[in-house]
Chains A and B, each alone.
Chain A
Amino acid sequence: MSKYAIAALLMFVGPMTLAGEIRDLSVETRIDYGYGPEPGESMQGILQLAPSLRVEFSPQLRLVAEGRIRLDVEDQLEPGRTRTDTYSGLSRPAVIGDLGTAEIRDAYIERSLDSGVMRIGKQQLVWGKLDGLKVLDVLNPQDLREFVLNEFGESRISLWSAYLDVTLGSWRTELAVIPDNTGHAIPAPGAWFELTAPRYRYGAAVGDPTPRIATHRHSIGSATSAYALRLSRQFGSVEAGAMAYSGVDFEPLGRLVIANGEPVVERYYERREVFGLHIENSFGPVALRAEAAFQPDRYFNTRTPVALAASPLDQYTAGLGLDIDGPWQTFINIQLLYDKVHDAPPTLIRPDEDRLVTVFASRSFSYESVRISARYYRSQQLNDEMVSLAVEFRLGDATEIRLAADSFSGNATGLLGQFSDKDRITLRLTHTF
Chain B
Amino acid sequence: MFTNADVASRFFHRVTARPVLALILSVVFFVTAAAGLPRLVKDTSVKAFIPQDHPALLADERAAEVFGLSDTIAIAITSRDGGSIFSPAALDLITRLSEQVAALPNIREDRVTSLATEASISGSSGAVDVLPYISQGMLTVADATESRARWRAMPPHVGTLVSDDETSAIVLAELIDSGLADQTYQAVLAFADAANSSKFEIHVAGPGAVSGFLGSHIDKDASKLQPLVFVLVLGFIYFAFRRFRALPGPLLVVIGAAGSSLGIMAWNNVPYYAITNALPVIVVAISVADAIHILSAYFQFRAQLPNESTRNLVIRAMTTMARPITLTTLTTIAGFVGIGAASIMPPITAFAWYAALGVALAWAFSILTLPNVLVLLRPGPSPAFESWGNNAPSGVGRILARIGAFSAANYATVLVVFAAVSAFAVYGALQLRVDRSQVDNFSADEPIRIADETINDRFAGTAFLDIIIESELPEGLLDHKQMQRIAYLQEFFESLPHVQKAIGITDYLDLLHRAIEDDSKMPLERRRLPTTEDGIAQYLLVYEMSGDPTDFEEEIDYDYQTALVRGILNTHYFSESRETVEALQTYVDEVFNDDTLTATLAGDVAVGYHWMSRLEQSHFVGVSLSLVLVLLTSILVFRSITAGVIAVVPVTFAVLTLYAVMGYAGIYLEPATSMFAAIALGVGVDFGIHLVERLREAYATHADDTAAAVDRVLPPTARACFFNSAALGCGFAVLFVSELPTLQRFGGLVAVAAVSSYVAALVIVPAFFAAESAIWHKVAEPSRKLLTYSVALLVLIGGSMLVASSTYASGFSAEEIARAVADRPEGQATRRVIDMTLTNKRGHSKQRRALVIKENRDLARYTRITYTEPKAIRDTAFLSHDYHNPSVSDSGWFYIPAQRKVRRVPASDRGDYFLGTDFTYEDIQSELKFDLKDYDFVYDGTSSAAGMTRHHLSGTPSSERVARQIGYGAFTAIVDESTWMPIKVEFLDRRQQPLKTIYVSKVENVEGIWTATDVQAVNHQTGHKTHFRFREISYPADLADQLFDPAALMRGISAAGTGAAR
Contact B799 A372 (CB under 8 A): yes
Across the two chains, which residue of chain A brings its CB closest to B1055?
A59
Contact B900 A282 (CB under 8 A): no
Contact A397 B906 (CB under 8 A): no
Contact B1052 A282 (CB under 8 A): no
Task: Indicate whether A396 sits within 8 Å of B846 (C-beta atoms), given known contacts A289-B904, A423-B788.
Answer: yes
**A380 contacts the other chain (CB 8 A):** no
Contact B840 A425 (CB under 8 A): no
Contact A59 B803 (CB under 8 A): no
**A165 contacts the other chain (CB 8 A):** yes
**B874 contacts the other chain (CB 8 A):** yes
Contact A423 B805 (CB under 8 A): no
Contact B904 A126 (CB under 8 A): no
Task: Indicate whether A37 sits within 8 Å of B788 (C-beta atoms), given known contacts A26-B871, A325-B909, A421-B781.
Answer: yes
Across the two chains, which residue of chain B brings its CB closest to A112?
B1054
Across the two chains, which residue of chain B brings its CB closest to A324?
B906
Cα separation A181 to B535 with both chains bound (whole Å): 86
Across the two chains, which residue of chain A brings its CB closest to B800?
A372
- Tell me how many residues of B have a C-beta within 8 Å of chain A: 63
The interface stretch among A72-80, A295-303, A384-392 is A384-392
Task: Indicate whether A403 sits within 8 Å of B795 (C-beta atoms), given known contacts A282-B892, A398-B872, A432-B872.
Answer: yes
Task: Indicate whether A425 sits within 8 Å of B788 (C-beta atoms), given known contacts A112-B1052, A239-B1046.
Answer: yes
Contact B1047 A172 (CB under 8 A): yes
Q: Give the interface SS of chain A, mostly helix, strand, loop or mixed.
A: strand
Contact A126 B892 (CB under 8 A): no
Total cross-chain contacts (CB, 8 A): 160
Q: Name the B residues within 8 Å of A411 (CB-CB).
A: none
**A116 contacts the other chain (CB 8 A):** yes
**B870 contacts the other chain (CB 8 A):** yes
B677 CB to nearest A CB, Å: 21
Q: Which residue in B905, B912, B1045, B1061 is a CB contact (below 8 Å) of A59?
A: B1061
**A370 contacts the other chain (CB 8 A):** yes
Tell me which residues from 865 to 895 in chain B have a Cβ below 8 Å from any Cβ of chain A. Answer: 870-874, 881, 888-889, 891-892
Q: Which residue in A114, A285, A365, A407 is a CB contact (below 8 Å) of B788?
A: A407
**A24 contacts the other chain (CB 8 A):** yes
Contact A115 B908 (CB under 8 A): no
**Residue in A56, A234, A286, A404 with the greatest tally of chain B CB atoms within 10 Å:** A234
Contact B801 A366 (CB under 8 A): yes
Cα separation A115 to B1043 with both chains bound (whole Å): 9
**B933 contacts the other chain (CB 8 A):** no
Contact B796 A60 (CB under 8 A): no
Across the two chains, which residue of chain B brings its CB closest to A125?
B900
Contact B899 A153 (CB under 8 A): yes
Tell me which residues from 934 to 955 in chain B have a Cβ below 8 Å from any Cβ of chain A. Answer: none
Contact A37 B784 (CB under 8 A): yes
Contact B899 A24 (CB under 8 A): no
Cα separation A116 to B1047 with both chains bound (whole Å): 9
Task: Indicate whether A128 sits within 8 Å of B1054 (C-beta atoms), given known contacts A237-B891, A282-B889, A325-B909.
Answer: no
Q: Name the B residues within 8 Å of A152 (CB-CB).
A: 899
A404 CB to nearest B CB, Å: 7
Task: Indicate whether A325 sits within 8 Å of B801 (C-beta atoms), given known contacts A152-B899, A367-B916, A423-B785.
Answer: no
Cα separation A406 to B777 with both chains bound (whole Å): 21
Contact A366 B872 (CB under 8 A): no
**A405 contacts the other chain (CB 8 A):** yes
Cα separation A60 to B1054 with both chains bound (whole Å): 7
**A343 contacts the other chain (CB 8 A):** no
Contact A323 B906 (CB under 8 A): yes
Cα separation A409 to B889 with both chains bound (whole Å): 41
Contact B1042 A367 (CB under 8 A): no
Q: Name the B residues within 8 Å of A283 (CB-CB).
A: 889
Contact B792 A366 (CB under 8 A): no
Contact B785 A282 (CB under 8 A): no
Q: Name the B residues within 8 Å of A367 (CB-CB).
A: 803, 838, 840, 916-917, 1022, 1024
Q: Which residue in A324, A370, A396 is a CB contact (below 8 Å) of B799?
A: A370
**B54 contacts the other chain (CB 8 A):** no
**B703 contacts the other chain (CB 8 A):** no
Q: Which residue in B789, B801, B899, B904 is a CB contact (below 8 Å) of A365?
A: B801
Q: Give the interface SS of chain B, mostly helix, strand, loop or mixed.
A: mixed
Contact A325 B906 (CB under 8 A): yes
**Residue in B799, B801, B802, B1050 with the greatest tally of chain A CB atoms within 10 Å:** B799
Contact B846 A397 (CB under 8 A): yes
**Residue in A115, A125, A165 with the greatest tally of chain B CB atoms within 10 Å:** A115
**A223 contacts the other chain (CB 8 A):** no
Tell me which residues from 406 to 425 in chain A have a Cβ below 8 Å from any Cβ of chain B. Answer: 407, 409, 421, 423, 425
**A383 contacts the other chain (CB 8 A):** no
What 0/1 readout, one digit per residue, does chain B (894-924) give for beta carbons within 8 Å of chain A? 0000111101111111001001110000000
Task: Indicate whether A124 sits within 8 Å of B792 (C-beta atoms), given known contacts A38-B784, A59-B1061.
Answer: no
B138 CB to nearest A CB, Å: 66
Q: Which residue in B781, B907, B917, B1047 is a CB contact (below 8 Å) of A38?
A: B781
Q: Name the A residues within 8 Å of B1046 (CB-CB).
A: 234, 239
A149 CB to nearest B CB, Å: 14
Across the two chains, which residue of chain A brings its CB closest to B899?
A153
Across the two chains, which residue of chain A brings its CB closest to B871?
A26
**A220 contacts the other chain (CB 8 A):** no
Q: Name the B residues within 8 Å of A282 (CB-CB).
A: 889, 891-892, 904-907
**Residue in B784, B788, B800, B1055 with the greatest tally of chain A CB atoms within 10 Å:** B788
Contact B871 A24 (CB under 8 A): yes
**B741 contacts the other chain (CB 8 A):** no
Across the two chains, which residue of chain A brings its CB closest to B848?
A397
**B1062 contacts the other chain (CB 8 A):** yes
Cα separation A287 to B906 with both chains bound (whole Å): 5
**B798 contacts the other chain (CB 8 A):** yes
Cα separation A397 to B800 with both chains bound (whole Å): 21
**B847 contacts the other chain (CB 8 A):** yes
Across the two chains, which residue of chain A brings its CB closest to B900?
A126
Cα separation A370 to B912 with both chains bound (whole Å): 17
Q: Name the B residues within 8 Å of A114 (CB-CB).
A: 1056
Tell me which residues from 745 to 792 in chain B have a Cβ below 8 Å from any Cβ of chain A. Answer: 776-777, 781, 784-785, 787-789, 791-792
**A120 contacts the other chain (CB 8 A):** no
Q: Which residue in A56, A125, A165, A329 is a CB contact (below 8 Å) of B1051?
A: A165
Cα separation A59 to B1055 with both chains bound (whole Å): 6
Q: Name the A residues within 8 Å of B891 (CB-CB).
A: 237, 282
What 0/1 readout, one digit per residue, does chain B (1020-1062) give for beta carbons within 8 Å of chain A? 0010100000000000000000100111001110111000011
Cα separation A59 to B805 with both chains bound (whole Å): 42
Q: Name the A residues within 8 Å of B777 (CB-CB).
A: 40
Contact B905 A165 (CB under 8 A): no
Contact A365 B1047 (CB under 8 A): no
Task: Indicate whether A124 sits within 8 Å of B900 (C-beta atoms), given known contacts A60-B1056, A365-B803.
Answer: yes
Q: Name the B residues within 8 Å of A369 (CB-CB).
A: 840
**A305 contacts the other chain (CB 8 A):** no
Contact A405 B792 (CB under 8 A): yes
Cα separation A367 to B802 with both chains bound (whole Å): 11
Q: Which residue in A325, A387, A421 is a CB contact (below 8 Å) of B908?
A: A325
Q: Name the A residues within 8 Å of B791 (CB-CB).
A: 37, 405, 425
**A167 contacts the other chain (CB 8 A):** yes
Cα separation A284 to B892 with both chains bound (whole Å): 11
Cα separation A129 to B840 with both chains bound (whole Å): 35
Contact B792 A284 (CB under 8 A): no
Q: Which residue in A167, A325, A389 is a CB contact (below 8 Å) of B795?
A: A389
- What are 15 A-B interface contacts by the 8 Å CB criterion? A56-B1062, A129-B901, A129-B904, A167-B1045, A172-B1047, A239-B1046, A286-B906, A287-B903, A323-B905, A324-B906, A365-B800, A390-B795, A391-B796, A393-B799, A409-B785
For the complex of A and B, list the 10 residue pairs with the smallest distance between their C-beta atoms, beginning with the closest.
Answer: A391-B799, A405-B792, A368-B916, A397-B870, A126-B900, A59-B1055, A117-B1051, A389-B792, A153-B898, A126-B901
Besides A38-B781, A283-B889, A285-B906, 16 new A-B residue pairs in contact (Cβ under 8 A), listed by A number? A24-B871, A115-B1042, A117-B1051, A126-B899, A165-B1051, A167-B1047, A237-B881, A237-B889, A287-B904, A325-B912, A366-B803, A367-B803, A368-B915, A397-B873, A398-B870, A425-B791
